[in-house]
Structure 1
Amino acid sequence: MNWYVVYTKPKWEKKVAEKLNQIGIECYCPLMFQIKQWSDRKKKIEVPLFNSYVFVHLEDIDRNKVFEVAGAVRYLFWLGKPAIVKDVEIENIKINLKADNISEISVSPIKAGDKITLESGVFAKQNATVQEVSHNYYTLVLESLGCVLKIKYK
């Protein structure tokens, strides 16, 4: 069995996870506490760590069962195949969310203008600026080498 990533309607993560559990599909919607402030009060609320994503643990042949639940839109794909998350990565998320020394967590996608450090490949440990993000490639500027790197990811 694999962990797959299901894309949900916005703000439906908890509802989809609850309904998936009710029909017998093991799922995980990582939640964190966040303090929200309104004009008259502050309140500590539980919000999803990943907006519009729920992880499901099931066999490949059972993948269509998730669409029996309202709010489940589609699977997240990587390189033309449904994205698979390793068991150890799910466990790491669970462990890290329980840590007492974390005060705030935020997850945001890579966007143009971001400064990053490449972690692997021939350009490992090089600093880069994201110039463009497309549906199937990133364009990075490697100033220290005086070049532009275009990474295609299908």
Structure 2
Amino acid sequence: MIYTKPRHEKKVHNQLTDFRITSFLPSKKVLRTWCDRRRYVEEPLFPSYVFIYLNDRQTYTRSLDMQGSLSYVRLGKEIARVSDAEVNNIRLATIQRSDITVSDGFFETGRKVVISRGALKGLSCEIVEYDHKKKLLVRVSLLQRNILISIPEHYLIPI
């Protein structure tokens, strides 16, 4: 995962794509209001972070040379790694671009479920209560963030 300058996530992601480096920038649609108009814009789900797949040393050095990239996220001296399952869950969660909330709050472990149908089929998550409503929770442990989504309960299968 690359840490970027503020508001440079899309630029870094596009440069990585141009160099054929596999990367992922989760985003959400947000309604913005200006004095004369309202418009939906895409914003990064995790500001200043771009997920990247490193497969060799050349990819590592090339991605640091991108304009706007600052460094790799590290845990001690090691580059932090996000599991493929976690990235897949984030990818599935961002398919349904409406009603996504990102929180850094602490949530007790909820009932584990898998979504059985719809656009989010295969997503493994937990059910928790947030703002007095039941929501699906996808944990992103490395960033200490949680993605909260609303979905009909009849789509869920307990694990």
TM range (shorter): 0.5 to 0.7
Number of the residue aligned with 2:91: 94
1:24-103 matches, within 5 Å, as: 24-62=20-58, 63-99=60-96, 102-103=98-99
Moved over 3 A (4+): 116-119
- The change in CA–CA distance for 1:85 and 1:99 in structure 2 (over 3 A counts) is same
Tell me if 1:105 matches 2:87: no
Number of the residue aligned with 2:119: none
- The change in CA–CA distance for 1:60 and 1:84 in structure 2 (over 3 A counts) is farther
**1:117 CA drift (Å):** 5.3
2:92 and 2:102 map into 1 onto residues whose CA distance is 16
Number of the residue aligned with 1:12: 8
1:8 and 1:25 map into 2 onto residues whose CA distance is 16
- The change in CA–CA distance for 1:74 and 1:65 in structure 2 (over 3 A counts) is same
Number of the residue aligned with 1:136: none
1:19 and 1:107 map into 2 onto residues whose CA distance is 29
- The change in CA–CA distance for 1:10 and 1:78 in structure 2 (over 3 A counts) is same
Unpaired runs of 5+ in structure 1?
A: 111-115, 120-154
**1:41 CA drift (Å):** 1.6
**1:24 CA drift (Å):** 1.5
- The change in CA–CA distance for 1:118 and 1:107 in structure 2 (over 3 A counts) is closer
Unpaired runs of 5+ in structure 2?
A: 110-159
1:118 and 1:87 map into 2 onto residues whose CA distance is 24
Contact 1:49/1:107 (8 A) holds in 2: no
Root-mean-square deviation (CA, aligned residues, Å) is 1.9
**1:68 CA drift (Å):** 2.2
Tell me the number of residue pairs that the alignment of Structure 1 and Structure 2 aligns: 108
Contact 1:50/1:107 (8 A) holds in 2: no
**1:51 CA drift (Å):** 0.3
Percent identity between the two aligned chains: 30
